[in-house]
Structure formats: C-alpha cells, structure tokens
Amino acid sequence: MILVPILLVVFENKNRKKAIQNKNLELLADYPEFVAKLSLLILTGLSIYNALNRIVENYHFSLSKNGQKRCLYELLTLTCQKIRNGMYEAYAYEEFGRMTGIPSYIKFSSLLVSGLNRGNKDFNHHLSEEVTNSLLEHKAFILQQGAKASTKLTLPMMLLFAVILVIVIIPAFFSVGF
C-alpha cells in the first residue's frame, strides 16, 4: 500500500523530467531558424517588436493550416502579448529568455535588450554573428543526436548479426553431417 504512492510520485517526476527535456530539445531545434528569420526581418528595416510580431503572425497562420504547436512560438506569442498589454519591451525580452531557461536564448534576449538600448549601430553585426553561431551550434547538436542514435542501435545491430550467423552456421553444420 505504501509503495504505490511512492511509485506514482517517482513515475510522475520521471514524466515531468522527460517533458522538460523534450521541450528543451524542441527549443534548441527551433533556435537557428528563429534567429535567421528575425535577423532577415530586422535587416529589412523592421523594428525588433515588429519583426517578432511578424514571426508570431506567420506562426499562427501556419498553425491554422497544419495545427502543430511549437513551444518557441507560443512563448513568443506570450511575449508579444505582454508588450501589447503595456510591459516594457526590454523587460519582456529578458523574461522571454528566462522563460526558456536555455543559455542561448538568454544570451539572445540580452542581445535584443542591448539592441533596444543602443540602437542598430552594432546590433546588426552582433545579430549576424549570432546567426552564424547558432547554425554552428545546431550542427554540433545534430551530430551529437546522431551519435546517440547510433549508440542506441548498437545492441539491435549485434542481435541481428547473431541471428544471421545462426541462420548461416546451423545449415552448414547439418550439411557436414554430424
């Protein structure tokens, strides 16, 4: 009787950690595309808020077509809503970085805040560097995920090899005539 509630709590914690890990993986996967979109929109002359708002509008348009929610764009929607409701932009961007809890987003949100404070003088250059860095980080992330996948496939591959050996060796022994 006492063991069942303990197992339920342990199982719930495991599910919660798995959900957080999946959310973080999704955020990391979306980061390079998001930074590249924002950089292109800002380089075309839009302000940071207008560029973010345009990205959110495109997300909601694509959401109405295929219905797949993405955590990053939901957080961006929340951030844009907070700014529309009167929250200071810099504070909303900092809060966006904190809500994700991922270092690259926190760094990016501080880059947005510095872009608001100093203007576009060095901001475009720093933003271009961040796009490059995010693509390199994404490449390393994909290689790491590929290595994990190949490690997970090692045991099934060994089992298939053993089955193939059995299929080849048993008829060979019977043909010799033991």
Q: Is 158 exposed, middle or buried (0-12, 13-18, 19+ CB in 10 A)?
A: exposed
pLDDT value of position 37: 92
pLDDT value of position 177: 63
- Rounded (10°) CA dihedral 119, 123, 125, 128: -140
35 close to 130: Cβ distance less than 8 angstroms: yes
Q: What is the mean pLDDT of each run of 10 residues along the chain (178 residues)?
A: 77 86 88 91 88 92 85 92 92 92 90 82 81 86 84 85 87 76
pLDDT value of position 88: 92
- Which value, in Å, is the radius of gyration of the alpha carbons in the chain? 25
Distance separating alpha carbons of residues 18 and 147, to the nearest angstrom: 20
pLDDT value of position 101: 87
Q: Is 172 helix (H, G, I), strand (E, B) or coil?
A: helix
pLDDT value of position 152: 81
| Domain boundaries along the sequence of the chain | 3-140
Structure tokens that stand for 170 in this block: 């048993």
Q: Which residues have a Cβ under 8 Å from the Cβ of 73 and sit 6 or more positions away?
A: 30, 55, 56, 59, 63
pTM of the model: 0.74
